[in-house]
Structure 1
Amino acid sequence: MPAYVPKKAWERDGQDKEKWFKRKHAHHHILEKPHREQMEQRYEGIERKKRRERMEYVRQDEETRYYKDVLKQRRSNALIDHLFGTNAVLAALKSNKRKRFGKLYLHSPKDTDKFSEIMELAKELNINVKDSTKQELNILTDNAVHNGIVLETRPMEIETIKSMGSEVTEDNFSVRVLNDIVGDSSTEEIAVNSYGKRFPLGLYLDEISDPHNVGAILRSAYFLGVDFVVFSERNCAPLSPVVAKSSSGAIEFSKLFKVGKPLTFFDESKKNGWVFISTVAPNDSRNKSKQVDTDFISDILQKSPVILVVGSEGTGIRTNLINKSEYLVAVTNGREMNECVDSLNVSVATALLISKILV
């Protein structure tokens, strides 16, 4: 049976399909035209805004890259340090030991008594204060915790010494300062700033490469009453802003020296009456006959000056320096140790030993 197929509307009207639709719906397009024009204008406005934003982003990106390059060049300048943190900056300004200060950069620092003191000292020292962005301070400090305060200054300079001198009392000691230009040395007397009647106690840092450990050692040494600190010139962390921050400013008030020839320093200092005591791990089997306790070191300090030697984080003190030392000392453990935790951090061990010897 034939199927019934109803006629389409344009067939019933006897018109072409395209013409029928144009006649039927032409008014719809006319009504929609203002809306379409409005939408087209809106889209054009959005595209123009996006183009402006893209151009501004490119401009800012180029400006930021240039800005970063300038700041990185300034940060990488070997003649400039950027001290950061409230205590480190305040200590540098109070001690005034550095040769020159540049700008003081600030970004929303907390209004504390220490900050007020920083501003007063900056005014007294005619330091230019500059309001900066957080990004600028992050670049200058390599994203360190700067507390919104960064001080541009010359790096810390310390004297190179040949040996400790023979003139030693409870009130002062002497060092043989090496003149790098003429290769000669001269004697310089330094007052002892320690508590109680005893001879000077110094620290010798042998190849400690972590600046945070160096800073922590300087902080503990200054707090507990160590009279001076000597650095191995090679393979020790430089006295950078990271060290200054980790030391909480103690680097600015401590008596610091560096040594280029450790073995010569040990030999000549021993001839001048100085006693060297190296720190070792409790399980160190080297020179067991030399090992003493901290009470023994306290007794030695009543008779002669002492230098406590501490070594690198991984390998400890070099064997040739241990052999040159008169005695060895260790921080004894208070329990049976697991091999995963068989030693202390060098800064912690140093602080414990100093505390047991002096306090």
Structure 2
Amino acid sequence: MTFLTNAVFKRYLAVGPSAQQAFKTRAKKKPSSFDKFFPQQGNARKKQWEVLNEDKESWFKRKYAHVHARERGQASDPYGKKEAHVDKLREIKNQAKLGQKKHKSKFQNSSMVQKLMNDNPILEYVYGTNSVYAALLNPARTSHSRVLYHGTIPGKIMQKVDELGITTEPADKHRLNLLTNYGVHNNIVLETKPLQPMEIAYLGDVDAASAALTVHELGFSNENIMHEIPYSTKADCKRFPLGLYLDEITDPHNIGAIIRSAYFLGADFVVMSRKNCSPLTAVASKTSSGALELLPIFYVDKPLEFFTKSQEMGGWTFITSHLADATAEKYTTGKTLGVRDLCGMCTELPIVLVVGNESQGVRTNLKMRSDFFVEIPFAGSETNVRAPEPLVDSLNVSVATALLIDNILSCK
């Protein structure tokens, strides 16, 4: 220890005068105490509640309890500037999100089906053996581009293709799947122009002797052009024509199924509302098994006028299918027929059977202009013992239409 002290003293003597003075100054300073930063007993600053001799909790309640959080916010922003600024930032953020979504939508990958269809929007791809063959037989199809096939083309189709001079093109199944949106194409697809049904104003007179009816086409300048169309007759069961009116049926599968049943059972034509009704697509043609190409189909743009003029000018009777309810009693009273009452009606007068939307049925304004109403009775409630109420209380529109057509054209 003495050795260390001597060594320090010798180093002290070796340094200069300025360093010696600094060393002496540093040696004079007293060591710092941690306790000096804490107030000593009796010198601490008293809190406000201590000055007033009041409890801390009661003092805070008395001073700040009346200040509501919302009032504090209003007091801090009396002119609403902060709120307006926050709203502006929120609007900018929302606009940025919308802009981002719009930008992304421009670069979304469209499906191959859309790309193929968008190459030429005036073309339609009819698929299926019966549908393609019926489309080749239909004179209303004004132009056919080509027939795409995989494997071999059926003989009857190949014969018609040769007669019309249509180009054939082999293709793999994947391409046919894309063209038909994975429909059951039977390895054959016809590229053709879509059907353009005639738009008519009303149904005219019926000549039962020559088995012909007249339809009045609506021209460009609103003139009526009359066309005579033959209809089929059956001995003792059908002297007058039977037509269908489809009101706002939106499912193309239902459209195709109705047309298939109508053609098979003996209906003579189909009239469709142009608005809110499924178009005559390739899906409808496939579902109809080609009957869509063989049965006369017309469009109507003004259904109410079509009903009224057909009744007045041509003596047509409109029978509407419906479900009985309290709201419809005021215009169905005395006009309701049973299903068996329809039998043999085509031996007495021309009839148009009206069927409506899958969920809402026929529109009320068309019901009010109908001559008769018919409902298929429900007979399955007692057989279902598991459900407290019937779960299936109606038929598909295509099935119901087939039952009604069959009863109208039946003699028994």
TM-score w.r.t. length of structure 1: 0.76
User: Structure 1's 271 and 102: CA in aligned 2 closer, same or farther, altered over 3 A?
Assistant: same
Look up the match of 1:106: 149
Does structure 1 residue 354 correspond to structure 2 residue 399? no
Q: In the alignment, which of 281, 286, 299 is matched to residue 240 of structure 1?
A: 281
Give the aligned partner of residue 118 of structure 2. Answer: 73
Partner of 1:335: 380
Paired with 2:112 and 2:360, the residues of 1 have a C-alpha distance of 42
Q: Deviations over 1:260-307 (max 9, x none)?
A: 000000000010200000001266762243210234333432221010
Structure 2: 5+ residue stretches without partners: 1-109, 383-388
What SS is found at the alignment partner of 1:266? helix
5 Å matches for 1:22-171? 71-74=116-119, 77-108=120-151, 115-169=154-208, 171=211
Q: Say whether the 8 Å CA contact 2:342–2:407 is kept in structure 1.
A: no
Q: Shift of the alpha carbon at 1:356?
A: 1.5
Which has the higher mean CA deviation after the structures are superposed, 65-74 or 152-161?
A: 65-74
Matched, 1:189 2:228: yes
In structure 1, list runs of 5 or more residues that go unmatched: 1-64
Compared CA separation, residues 282 and 67, structure 1 to 2 (3 A): closer
Query: Given residue 281 of structure 1, which amino acid in structure 2 is its aligned partner?
Result: L
User: Structure 1 CA distance, aligned partners of 2:406 and 2:354?
Assistant: 15
Q: Distance in 2 between matches of 1:217 and 1:163?
A: 22
Q: Distance in 1 between matches of 2:136 and 2:162?
A: 11
Q: Which residue of 2 aligns with 1:214?
A: 255
Write out aligned runs for 1:224-235 (5 A): 224-235=265-276
Matched AA of 2:122: L
CA distance in 1, matches of 2:398, 2:161: 32
Once residues 306 and 168 of structure 1 are traced to their aligned partners in structure 2, the CA distance between those partners, rounded to angstroms, is 14
Aligned residues between the structures: 289
- Equivalent position SS for 1:324: coil
Contact kept, 8 Å, 1:168 with 1:305, in 2: the verdict is no
8 Å Cα contact 2:206-2:240 kept in structure 1 = no
**d(CA) in 1 for partners of 2:115 and 2:356?**
38
The 1-side partners of 2:165 and 2:326 are apart by 54
Q: Residue 279 in 1 paired to residue 321 in 2?
A: yes
> Aligned letter for 2:358?
E
My pick for the range that moved more, 115-124 or 212-221, is 115-124
Q: Is 2:345–2:409's contact at 8 Å kept on the other side of the alignment? A: no
* One-letter identity of the residue aligned with 2:232: N
State the shift of 1:84 in Å. 0.4
Name the CA distance, whole Å, in 1 between partners of 2:323 and 2:370. Answer: 15
Provide the aligned C-alpha RMSD in A.
2.1
Note closer, same or farther for the CA distance 1:152–1:303 as it changes in structure 2 (3 Å cut).
Answer: same
Task: Tell me the TM-score normalised to structure 2 length.
Answer: 0.66
- Code of the aligned partner of 1:307: V
Task: Please state how far the C-alpha of 1:340 moved relative to its aligned partner.
Answer: 1.6
1:312 to 350, 357, 365: 357
Report the 3-state secondary structure (helix = DSSP H, G, I; strand = E; otherwise coil) of the residue aligned with 2:215.
Answer: strand
SS of match in other structure, 1:349: helix
Alignment-derived partner of residue 36 in structure 1:
none
CA distance, structure 2, for counterparts of residue 81 and residue 122 of structure 1: 17
Matches of 2:260 and 2:233, distance apart in 1: 15
Question: Structure 1: how far apart are the matches of 2:114 and 2:131?
Answer: 26
Q: 1:288 to 1:341 in 2, by over 3 A?
A: farther
- Rounded to whole Å, the distance in 2 between the matches of 1:263 and 1:315 is 18
User: Which is worse superposed, 333-342 or 90-99?
Assistant: 333-342
SS of the aligned residue for 1:238 comes to coil
> Is contact 1:282–1:333 with CA below 8 Å preserved after alignment?
no
Sequence identity percentage: 42
Shift of 1:188: 1.1
SS at match of 2:182: coil
Is the radius of gyration larger for structure 1 or structure 2?
2
Is structure 2 residue 215 aligned with structure 1 residue 175? yes
